[in-house]
A and B are shown apart, each in its own frame.
Chain A
Amino acid sequence: MKWLAILVPALLALAACSSSSDCVEGDVACLLAKNGASTKNGAAGADGGADPSAPACTVTGHPHVGLGGIDVAAKADGAAGADRARTKPYSALLTEYGRVLGANNAPASISNDGPTFGVPSDRWYYEPIASAVFVNTAFDVAFEGCQNMTTSDPTFATAPTSDTALAQCTTWARKFWSRDATPDQLTACVGVTSDIASESPQRRWAYACATLLTASSFLTY
């Protein structure tokens, strides 16, 4: 019966836009047929960039009373494409660090950190809460993996310069985030290597690497 508590509100929410604007969000063909105009298929992801021409609900204010007599209808329209980012669950993070750093560099400590990141009971789902302890632990885990990488690769035995840090940050961001970093983000990454000038070259590189892996572009979808 518990699945009903999830399914019914979800179905009600899907119906919220159906009375006069009955294109399911993202159904470009439907929108074209109704509006007779071209529409960009822009996807608003975790880093913003909402597409103003994407279909949006035009019917608001209808209540959708669900279980417990609670109205599950949204009370206000937010900006299109906003608030789509979600924190990666522990089940994903377990393999993410190894995926981006290489299996040999995967941090071992994450296997013991389930209670910190949140592990649901069997057959339940748990929405991760990115608390301060979650993020601090994620940074420590990332640092372990990054240090594994920088101590095993002679490239990182040389202290970073602003040029070499920029090049490496660019490469890492692309690899870790599956997209290019913005100039501001690269500036922040390079800044890490100069913030922490007193440590060994390998650890300075590891701090920069771990910072990229603790940014929202890695920790969230």
Chain B
Amino acid sequence: MSLRWRIIWVGLLVLGLGWAAVANFVPEERRESSEWIPSGMRLGLDLRGGIRMLLAPDLDEAVRLELGHLRNSLERALEDENILVGRLAVVGESTIELELASPGDRDAVRDVVEDYSVLDAEETENGWRLTLGDLQYDQVRRQAVDQSLEVLRRRINDPNTGIQESVVTRQGADRILVEIPGVSEVPDIFARTGFLELDIVLDEEPSEELLQAKYPDGLPEGTRVLVEKDEETGRVTRAYLVNKEPDITGENLSDARPVFDRNEWKVSFTWNGDGAREFGELTEKNRGKNLAIVLDGEVYSAPRIRERISRAGEISGRFSSQQAFDLAVILRAGSLPIPVNLEEERTIGPALGADSIRRGLRASAVGLVLVILFVVLYYRLAGSYAAVALTVNLMLVIGVLSVMRNFATLTLPGIAGLVLTVGMAVDANVLIFERIREELRSGKTVRAAIATGFQKARWTILDANITTLITALILYEFGTGPIQGFAVTLAIGIVTSVFAALVITRMLFMIYPGDRHLEQLSI
């Protein structure tokens, strides 16, 4: 493409990213209030101050609990069939042992056992050894993490905690990462949050307006309207009329789990003593009606009550596995299903964070100045081109980091990465210039020397930078938090510095000397 167009395109790119980069130096209040000024880079926790925790739900405990539940369920099922067994106990980490009271029971017991598709049954001399099937084992563990994640997230996001911003995500297969910026003490995030209620549905319609329209004279005394929303869009899908006072709250729940039993997904739950009584009465009186399950004032589902439910029971209703799972999570919302262990915690006070930023910036600035000084003194005019490329490069990196703020965070090692980029960006230019010098020495014309220099140096530059890029990728893959910040900054810096050397420096050479015929080149 012609030089003019090249300059225009490059200019646009540089200006665009440069604008994003410069925004970082505008005070935050102005940035937030103005639409034109883009938000700057996202700062990592080690620069902002905050807490980073790695939590590990006790998954073995989850399996043990599950086994305990299954054992209890088996016991009840056997009781229902009037079968007495000698022994039924959880043994070790993942087994239930069943001993027959009399061999004649074997067939009857087998019928019962076979209903439990989630257990792998192995017949033994005295009875059975039952282990959790692989599928179920994984599912229990996965669910435990999901439930913990859900609860923690809900707890942290609750407005009562005063935590404005936080990140709660899964880390790997069985850990949870919690990041809370701006906080210097571990907050009591386990304070109970989330209010669960179960309300009998008095009336319902697909939307609030329709429901309200049914009561032109106002809602009946002592009632209110609750809505159900679509999870993804947030649109209201149904409106319910319920009593103002919750019929039952989740206080008395002691457990709830999704179960796959007899080819259906259901939610099995248990109440403690008081809860059982209350719930039994409620469901007895309201058979055939719908029961709205409400969390924090929002209806999650409203299944039909089929029969009286008391101490333990199931909610069924052609749930998909996801629905059953969601419902169980919700029912348990107020409490963590299992103990959660702290495996890693890093807390940086805000003072140290701000200090690190300051020093990092100073080091970068000084490094840049020194390198520019050197390159201009050593390579003269060409050196000044390199200086321009260097500055543009730094601007590009910061700009890209700002634009990609959802994927890339600037951490303290990241600032080190910036400094490293400054050092490495020069390398590419040095390679080009040395090559040009060599070509000039061998007698080529200035124009030819420049062209050859760039051409010969190109692959050397690419090879060198690609290998560094490989290590940056590995660092990202194997690293955590701040180190990943370094890897990202390094990777971006490599790309921009190659661009700066091969495109921008080249462009400057095309501007001057360009097509002119020079005897000597200031290089």
Does B associate with A? Answer: no
The chain B residues found within 8 Å of chain A, CB to CB, are none
